[in-house]
Structure 1
Amino acid sequence: MAITTHVLDLTYGKPGSHIKIDLYQITKNGKKYLKTVVTNRDGRVDGALLTREEVTTGEYEFLFHIGEYFRVQGIEQQEPYFLEFVPVRFGVQNLESHYHIPLLISPWGYQVYRGS
């Protein structure tokens, strides 16, 4: 069991490299910050964001910093960007399952799904 992700840039048809991702656990008192990671050249995070030992059942949230990524790519937009951040909230029910949550992005939209 682990939580993993990767990012694909649909604008250029390539991995979303060097994208900052914050990970939170959602609690009854709000969000609890867990860590920040950055995608590698392949749009993936080196290793799991959380391992089997670190995961509990409940809700989590990724916060993808895609505005910063598209500025580095030279995408011309006026401030504020249409999508500066993409929050993805998901639930973990089965501690025996792998949770892979890919994100497909463009400056104007995104799609997320549970992968394998």
Structure 2
Amino acid sequence: MTAAHPPTSVSTHILDTSAGRPARGVAVELSVRPGPQDPWTVHAGSATDADGRCRDLPPLPRGTTHARLRFAVEPYFADPARTSPSNPPSNPTSDTARQQAEAQQDAPRADPQGPRDSGAFFPEVAVVFAVAPGEHYHVPLLLNPFGYSVYRGS
């Protein structure tokens, strides 16, 4: 008899290093797959809260070997209120973030007119990582309009 593993979980947060504070209201999509050649399945959608965190991502399904976090950063950078401490951007509900993530999944990836002037060089950030049963994966995103960094946190 094999011992059951605790659920495999994922958490994330975004820090806007250009503004020096958490990135609020960024839509985040969590996708999973059971193997490196398998197609992605959207598992959850969320949005970052006032602290830049997604606190409602569900545990990963059993058999997941890879996870992907997609961060929709273009709308965040297009919002002029993001740099105003007195007027922080609104935080959409999880349903709104889920709808945004689904719309992005169906939207064409290339704009034939060229990039829009949103202030972001990267309109989205996708981070793919391997997972093992029973582990917790915290994947912070350090973000600015022209670059980003990710790492496995604790």
Q: TM-score, normalised by structure 1?
A: 0.84
For the aligned residues, what is the CA RMSD? 2.2
Measured in 1, the distance between the counterparts of 2:22 and 2:146 equals 17
8 Å contact 2:11–2:55 — kept in the other structure? no
Kindly tell me: are residues 80 and 11 of structure 1, through their superposed partners in 2, closer, same or farther at Cα, counting changes over 3 Å? closer
Q: CA deviation at 1:80?
A: 8.8
Q: 1:86 aligns with which of 125, 143, 147?
A: 125
Larger radius of gyration: 2
Secondary structure of 1:12's counterpart equals coil
Secondary structure of 2:149's counterpart equals strand
Q: CA deviation at 1:96?
A: 2.9
Consecutive unaligned residues in structure 1, runs of 5 or more: none
Name the structure where helix makes up a greater proportion of residues. 2
Consecutive unaligned residues in structure 2, runs of 5 or more: 1-7, 83-115
Secondary structure of 1:115's counterpart equals coil
Q: C-alpha deviations, 1:16-70, integer Å up to 9, x for none?
A: 10000011113533111112100100000123x1326x45440010110011100
1:13 equivalent in alignment to 2:20: yes
Q: Percent identity?
A: 31
Q: TM-score, normalised by structure 2?
A: 0.65
Q: List 4+ stretches of structure 1 deviating above 6 A.
A: none
Name the structure where strand makes up a greater proportion of residues. 1
8 Å contact 1:2–1:55 — kept in the other structure? no
Partner of 2:78: 71
Partner of 1:107: 145
